[in-house]
Structure 1
Amino acid sequence: MEFKDYYETLGVKSGATDAEIKSAYRRLARKYHPDVSKEAGAEEKFKAVNEAYEALKDPTRRQAYDQLRAGGYRGGDEFRGPPPNWQRGTDFGEDGGADFSDFFESLFGGRGAGGRAGPRRGRDVHAQIAVDLTTAYHGGRQRIGLHDGGGERTLEVRIPAGIAPGQQIRLAGQGGAGAHGGPAGDLILEVGLRDDPRFRLEGRDVLTDLPVAPWEAALGATVTVPTLGGNVELRIPAGSDGGRKMRLRGRGWPGKTPGDQIVTLTVRVPKAATDAQRALYEQMAKEFDFDPRA
C-alpha cells in the first residue's frame, strides 16, 4: 500500500499547531465538499482531507503517526504495514468512521488477526448552512437538503436563538454510516448568515441606516426605527448631520451581554417638483449662510 503524508494533504508543516491543523481542515473541507465543489475529484479530495484530519486531530494518534513518519517515509512511498512494535495510540474504533484508506486502517482501524475490523462509528460529516438574520436572531427551524450516497435527503434543523456566524450545530447520527454494526457519525453544520437588506452584524452589534428628512435632522424629531426585536422610537436631536451614529443599547445580537444597535442617519433630500417647492429651496439658500464644503 501507499504511505500517506497527512501533513502534505492538509498543506501544513509537521510542526503545525492544533489550531493551524483545524483551520486548514475546515478550509479544505469547505472547498472540496461534494455539495459545494464543482472540481473534478472533489469527493476523493474531501475524503482524503477528512482522513488526514482524523489522523492528526487526536494527540496520541498524531504522536504515533509522527514516530512512524520520522523513519523516513514520504507520501507515495511503498508501505508494508506498521512495524511489530507499533503503538497506534488511541484506537479509532470508538470515534472514527468508515470509508478510510487501507493505510489508515492498518494504523488505526483496529483490525484483528483475521483482518476483520470491529464495529466502527461512522465519520462526522461537515457542511455549511446559510440562515436568515431574523431566524438566527429569534431561533426557529430550517429545512436543508443533503446529497448522500448519490441520493438526496431532507432534514429539519433547529436554529438556536442568537446563534452567531461560525458557530456549529451538531445533528447526532446524521453523519457517515457506521461499519460492522457501529453507530452512524454526526452531521456538523457550520452556520453562516445571509445578507439582509436592512441590518448588518458586526460582532454583537447590529448596524442599520436610517433615512431622515432634512427638517427632521435640522429641527429634531421622534421617528420609528426597525430592530430585529421589533420597532422602537428614536429621538433625533436638532441639528443632526447625515452620518451621525446613534446607539440603541441592548437592541443588538442576543446573548449573556446583548449587543447594541448602531443607527447611522442618512439625510434624504426631496426633489423640487413644483414652482412652490423650488421657491422654498431658493428661500433657504438666501436665508442660510451655509457652505457644506467649507
Structure 2
Amino acid sequence: MEFQDYYKTLGVDKTASAEEIKKAYRKLARKYHPDVSKEADAEKMMKAVNEANEVLSDPEKRAAYDQVGQGYQSGQDFRAPPNWDGGFEFSGGNFNDTSDFFANLFGQAGKRSQGRRQYQERGEDKHAKIVIDLIDAYQGTTRNITLRAPELDATGHTVNKERTISVQIPKGVKAGQHIRLNGQGSPGFGGGAAGDLYLEVQFREDARFRVEERDVYQTVPVTPWEAALGGGIEVNTPSGTVQVKVPANSQTGRKLRLKGRGIPSTTPGDLYLLLEVVLPPADTEAARKIYETMAHELAFNPRTGA
C-alpha cells in the first residue's frame, strides 16, 4: 500500500507545532467542507484532511507515525514493521472510510470503529453597542434590537437577514458594562456552536446628567432668591422626586450630595446636585424696576467682591 504523507496533506513541516497543525487543518477544512466547497474532489480531500489531522493532532499517534514512517516518501510502497501493533483504541462513530494505510498503521480497530471527526468551529463572538436612558439603569428594562447577519439561502447565495431579539437590561447596569447574549453571535461552522453577542452599554446624552461609574451628577436650576435665602425645593431625580434643602448664600456650582441615590448596586453610587442660579429675564417694566432697585440698594459688584 502507499505511504500517506500526512504532513504534506496538511501542508506543514514535520517540525510543525500543535497550533500550526490546528491552523492548517482549519484552513483546509473550510476549503473542502462539503457544505461550502465547490471543489470537484472536495469529499475525497476532506477525508484525507480529516485522517491527517486525526493522526498529527494526537501526540501519541503522531509519535507512532513518525517512528514507522522514517525514510518513506509519499506514494512509496509501505509495509508496517514485523510484529508492529499500534495498540490504539478508538471510541464511537461508524467511520469506515479511513485509508488502508491508516488501518494498517493503527490496527484494524482503527478501521472498524474510528469515528469520522467532522470539522467543527465555534462561531465568532460579535460586539455591538446599546444606548439606554439613565433611568433604565435605575429601574431595569427590556429593549428589542434588530440584528442583521449574512446567511445562505436555499440556492446557496449569501443574503442579509434581519431578526429581532429581546434584551433584558438589568437594574444597576453602568456605562461600559457588557451584556452577554449566549448564541447570538455568528453561526458555527460544520455544526459548531454559535458565538455570543456582547452589547456594550452606553447612556443616551442628556444635558442634565453626567455619570462617573455609579455616581451621577445632575444640574439643578434655582432662582436667585432660592440661592440667596435658602430653603426647600423639589427635584425630580432618576430615582424619583426628592425634597432638598438649599443652603443660604449658595452660588452656581455648589454641590449637594445625596448618598446612595446614584446608580443602584450592592454599594450604590451617590447623586450630586449641582446648583445653577438662573436669573429671570428683565422683559417687563415690573421686572426691570426690581433689577433697578437691586442695583441701587445692594450696590453689589461681583468683579471686586464688594
Unaligned stretches of 5+ in structure 1?
1-79, 94-99, 106-110
* Letter matched to residue 263 of structure 2: W
Secondary structure of the structure 2 residue equivalent to 1:170? strand
2: distance between equivalents of 1:276 and 1:165?
48
Partner of 2:16: 86
- Give 2:286's match in structure 1, choosing from 276, 279, 289: 276
1:262 counterpart letter in structure 2 = Y
Q: TM-score, normalised by structure 1?
A: 0.62
How many Å separate the matches in 2 of 1:183 and 1:92? 18
Separation of aligned partners in 1, 2:122 and 2:206? 40
Amino acid at match of 1:139: G
1:155 to 153, 156, 165: 165
Aligned pair 1:210/2:220, yes or no?
yes
User: Does the Cα contact within 8 Å between 2:188 and 2:194 map onto a contact in 1?
Assistant: yes
| Whole-angstrom CA distance in 2 between matches of 1:245 and 1:91 | 62
Change in Cα spacing, 1:146 to 1:190, as seen in structure 2 (3 Å) is same
Question: CA 1:289–1:185 in 2, change beyond 3 Å: closer, same or farther?
Answer: same
Shift in Å at residue 215 of structure 1? 0.8
CA distance in 2, matches of 1:183, 1:90: 23
Helix, strand or coil: the match of 2:176?
coil
Residue 183 of structure 1: CA displacement?
Answer: 2.0
Name the counterpart of 1:193: 203
Q: 1:172 aligns with which of 176, 182, 190?
A: 182
1:113 aligns with 2:51: yes
**Length, aligned pairs only:** 205
Match of 2:139 in 1: 138
Residue 291, structure 1, aligned to residue 301, structure 2: yes
Distance in structure 1 (CA, Å) of the matches to 2:300 and 2:134: 42
Answer yes or no: is 1:221 the counterpart of 2:221: no
Shift of 1:260: 1.1
1:27-42 equivalences under 5 Å are: none
TM-score, normalisation: structure 2: 0.60
Distance 1:246 1:88 in 2: 61
1:251 aligns with 2:251: no
**What is aligned with 1:7?**
none
Amino acid at match of 2:168: R
For 2:260, give the aligned amino acid. Answer: G
- Relative distance call for 1:276 and 1:175 in structure 2 (3 A) is closer
SS at match of 2:237: coil
Superposition deviation, residue 265 in structure 1: 1.0
Whole-Å separation in 2 of the counterparts to 1:206 and 1:90? 50
Contact 2:143 2:166 in 1 (8 A): yes
SS at match of 2:195: coil
Residues 141-184 of structure 1 show CA distances to partners (whole Å, capped at 9, x for unaligned) of 11111111111111111111111122111111112212222222
CA gap 1:269/1:104 in 2 versus in 1, 3 angstroms: same
- Structure 1 CA distance, aligned partners of 2:20 and 2:174? 33
Whole-angstrom CA distance in 1 between matches of 2:270 and 2:13:
60
Structure 2 unaligned regions, length at least 5: 1-9, 32-48, 54-116, 151-159
Residue 114 to residue 103, structure 1, CA distance change in 2 (3 Å): closer
> Could you list the runs of 4 or more consecutive aligned residues of structure 1 that deviate by over 6 angstroms after TM superposition?
90-93
In structure 1, distance between residues paired with 2:176 and 2:27: 30
Distance 1:133 1:219 in 2: 32
Q: Which secondary structure state, in structure 2, belongs to the residue aligned with residue 223 of structure 1?
A: strand
1:245 is matched by which residue type in structure 2?
A: K
Match of 1:141, SS state, is: strand
Q: Which residue of 1 aligns with 2:65?
A: none
For 1:86, the aligned partner's letter is A
Determine helix, strand or coil for the equivalent of 1:119.
coil
The one-letter code sitting in structure 2 at the alignment partner of 1:274 is T
> What are the superposed Cα offsets for residues 200-244 of structure 1, whole Å, 9 maximum, x if unpaired?
212221111111111111111211112111010110011111221
- Report the equivalent of 1:239: 249
Distance in 2, matches of 1:178 and 1:104, equals: 12
Mapped to 1, the partners of 2:237 and 2:171 lie a distance apart of 15
Task: Report the Cα distance in structure 2 between the residues aligned to 1:102 and 1:189, rounded to whole angstroms.
Answer: 33
Structure 1 190/275 Cα, relative in aligned 2: closer, same or farther at 3 Å? Answer: closer
Corresponding residue for residue 125 of structure 1: 126
CA distance in 2, matches of 1:278, 1:253: 43
Q: How big is the alpha-carbon RMSD for the aligned residues of Structure 1 and Structure 2? A: 2.8
Summarize the Cα distance change of 1:102–1:293 in structure 2 as closer, same or farther, 3 Å threshold: farther
Decide whether aligned partners of structure 1 residues 260 and 162 sit closer, same or farther in structure 2, where only a CA change above 3 A counts. Answer: same
* Cα separation, partners in 2 of 1:178 and 1:276, compared to 1, 3 Å: closer
